[in-house]
Chains A and B, each alone.
Chain A
Amino acid sequence: MFRTLERLLYDPNLTNPPPPPPPANPGVFQIHPYQLSQWLEEAWTFTANVTLPHTAIHGQPYVGGQEIISTLQLPTQPDNPFLEFLRSGIHVGSVAWSPGFWNQPEPAPGEVTPPATLPLPWDHLIYAYMIESTGALEILSEVVRRYAVGETLETPSFATQGWLRSTEELFFREPPLFHIVGLTSRLRPDMSVARRNAYWRLIGMDLPHPAMGVSGQPWKQDTGVANLRFHELWLDLLRGVWTGYENATNFSGANPTDPNYIYEICRYLRDMLQMRRLGGNLARDEFVHVSTMSWFHLTLLSDTPVVVDLRSQGTDAADRLFKLGQRVGISPAPHARELFEMADLVSDFVRFVELGYFTPATVPTLYQNPTQLRTDVIRLIDLWEMATGDSIKADAVRLSGQTQPRAQHAPPARSLAVPSAPRPPHPARPPRVPAGAGHTNGSTP
């Protein structure tokens, strides 16, 4: 969400073809945390405007229940608090933050609700899982703690002071009362446990690193049904798409592509994910966790003030995280770079699978037609194999007549690469290719 807000500050309609270059100090970090907190409340309400997907469900397509937004949002009738005392005051469209309001005319009563022109979708929960798997939260929280308790790090700049205050206020203190981000309570006091609980329930996977200060695995208690087959089916889906991509240009001979099987997996995954969202379950959790991780992701996307102050400039988010980790004595995930680059791709793809976009007619879009969707999915396969070691492409090169037992697949609910655990031997590790480069294996139509 904060990455979206950062873009909205510069491009309020998101229609400028060339995206603006990342600023040295993102405008979001210059906004008061109270305003950001109110903006999150507004953004939750704006979700009702997401009418983009062409699905059978009109309205809020990706939050499960139709009524979850209006049920949890602040009432906007008879007076809209977002136009009065609860307005965030964030002026979209200004390069630098300035006092003001959403630059929207007040709608006539009963005509257009709520006061936003653009839908504000958020990423899938698996995005938060990917970002948290890098160790960014632990490292940056340690940075905040070091700055808060002593002077073991460099003197912060004023811009860094603003970031430190906003980070601590938004994510490391009790949330404001009656706020949409107030997930924790005496019943579930630990936010990290709440996040792991959401990951476990929706995608059936644990984070690769242990939870600090938590004994056991309380996030798995009393969960009832969890999507433990997600990982297994996910790998099957990626393998099926890769097989289709490899044979997309076959004009003679056998073609092992099985679009019906791919569709069947998509349907299974869709049902599995939507079952966990019945009644609007996990919608609020996803919103909060994705917003949290987008803040830390945005911090690492460029040489922001805190990165510069700690002399951790780098070429990508993983490099900066690695250097920041060295300053505070925490090592990030060894495949943090792949996880950062994969986060957006896997979020979009899983969201589309969950929404049921893939039908027998549209499945070939994943591997047949040269579209952005195919480019993203193929790159996702590369990155997933590099990051996790899961064998995706090797299955397509098995001997003719050799059976492929399902038990060969990775066990369900396997976590991402754990630094301390021995990694399984990788049969054919593909070489790292720069972003946008063409693939050397498979078809290149």
Chain B
Amino acid sequence: MTPVTKRTRAADGDVPRRPPDFEVLQEFAGAFAERLLPGLLDGVSRSTAEILETVRLEGEASRAAARADAREQSRKLVESVRDRQEEVFAPAPGIEVVEAFDAGDRLAQAELAVTYMAWRTLLCRPGAASIFVVERVTEQGKLSAEGSYVLISSAPFTRTHAGWTLVASISGVASPVHASPSEKGLRVPVYIPDLTADRDLTRLEIWDQEGRPRFVGVGQAFQTNNQARPRERGHLPERIKER
């Protein structure tokens, strides 16, 4: 199909066309060019340098920012990888449970073990004895329920070793007290701090040089009733007295 070219007429009211005055235009263009062209050329050359400088600076800034971002991303990535590595190489949960015990827990386990051994000894089970017989005495070694000294009257050992410690639990005293056994022999009274006349000895252990309980004391030193005795002597609570 042949394309159809449609001619249109100028609408009424159009400005009538006249031929341009080329001489005037040439004169104007010449004067304009003589006056503006050097400045224009100078401005173009100057702006090009500035643009180039600007582009260069912007490029460097962009590259610096990219390098900073890359370093930050890398740092984060390395840190996250390190976290995962630590997580991967963490010990098994079972080991963590065992190692989670603090010194108090380990002491409780050692005390349980030595208490069990002492219980076996008292029931005459076979094996080495884990008890020692202890008496509560005065400084002179005389038997007394109110004395502040203890005396080892019988033990499965003949002498105490260096570093051994007597650890005593006393009624009314929050934490156990420590005392050093005499180096002169077993039958020498040992002073127990805080063991006053109104208190009872509730437990006595011998710890070795590594702080592990080895022996448990039994016997007469624990058969006192000092803490409850004042009440028997009439030191009753007020409401009971009023009755």
- A residues lining the B interface (CB < 8 Å): 3-4, 6-7, 13-17, 19, 48-49, 51-54, 58, 105, 108, 110-114, 117-123, 247, 250-255, 257, 259, 344, 347-348, 351-352, 357-359, 361-362, 364-365, 368-369, 371-373
Contact = CB atoms under 8 A, between A and B. Distances in A.
A105 B123 CA distance: 24
B105 A361 contact: yes
Q: Which 3 A-B pairs have the closest CB atoms?
A: A255-B94, A13-B154, A361-B105
Given A117-B133, A247-B94, 20 more contacts: A4-B122, A15-B133, A15-B154, A16-B156, A19-B124, A49-B222, A51-B218, A52-B131, A118-B219, A250-B92, A251-B95, A259-B97, A344-B125, A348-B125, A361-B104, A362-B112, A365-B109, A365-B113, A372-B113, A372-B117
A359 B108 contact: yes
Contacts of A15: 129, 131-133, 154-156
Contact of B118 (A19, A52, A252): A52
Contacts of A352: 116, 119
Contacts of B41: none
Nearest to A10: B124
A14 B131 contact: yes
A3 B119 CA distance: 15
A360 B118 CA distance: 22
A123 B123 contact: yes
17 contacts: A13-B153, A14-B122, A14-B131, A16-B129, A17-B156, A19-B126, A52-B119, A111-B145, A112-B224, A117-B133, A120-B122, A247-B94, A352-B119, A357-B112, A361-B101, A364-B109, A365-B109
Nearest to B104: A361
B111 interface: yes
B161 to A, nearest CB: 15
B143 interface: yes
B133 A373 contact: no
B108 A255 contact: no
Contacts of B219: 117-118
Given A15-B155, A344-B123, A253 B133 contact: no
A52 B115 contact: yes
Contacts of B128: 17
A369 B220 contact: no
Contacts of B153: 13, 117
B216 interface: yes
B106 to A, nearest CB: 8
B116 A372 contact: yes
B111 A121 contact: no
B119 A112 contact: no
Interface string B191-230: 0000000000011000000000000101110111100010
A253 B145 contact: no
Nearest to A366: B112
B91 to A, nearest CB: 7
B119 A250 contact: no
Contacts of B132: 15
Contacts of B144: 111
Q: Which label, helix, strand, loop or mixed, suits the secondary structure of the B interface? A: mixed
Interface residues of B, number: 55
B182 interface: no
A309 to B, nearest CB: 26
Contacts of B124: 3-4, 6-7, 14, 19
Most B C-beta atoms less than 10 A away, residue of A48, A347, A348, A362: A362
B121 interface: yes
B229 A110 contact: yes
Interface in B75-100: 91-95, 97-98
B127 interface: yes
Nearest to A13: B154
Given A15-B156, A123-B123, A348-B120, A364 B98 contact: yes
Interface string B132-151: 11010000000111100000
Most A C-beta atoms less than 10 A away, residue of B116, B117, B171, B219: B116
A368 B94 CA distance: 11
A118 B122 contact: yes
A51 B223 contact: yes
Contacts of A105: 143
B3 to A, nearest CB: 81
Given A17-B128, A118-B218, A251 B202 contact: no
B223 A49 contact: yes
Given A15-B154, A253-B92, A117 B98 contact: no
Given A51-B223, A117-B220, A119-B218, A257 B94 contact: yes
A105 B98 CA distance: 49
A48 B224 CA distance: 11
A348 B123 contact: yes
A14 B129 contact: yes
B87 to A, nearest CB: 15
A357 B115 CA distance: 10
A54 B115 contact: yes
A49 B223 CA distance: 6
Contacts of A114: 223
Contacts of B93: 255
Given A15-B132, A112-B223, A250-B94, A373 B116 contact: yes
A357 B113 CA distance: 10
Nearest to B136: A112
Nearest to A49: B223
A44 to B, nearest CB: 16
Given A53-B115, A118-B133, A372 B120 contact: yes
A6 B124 CA distance: 9
Given A348-B123, A361-B108, A372-B116, A52 B218 contact: yes
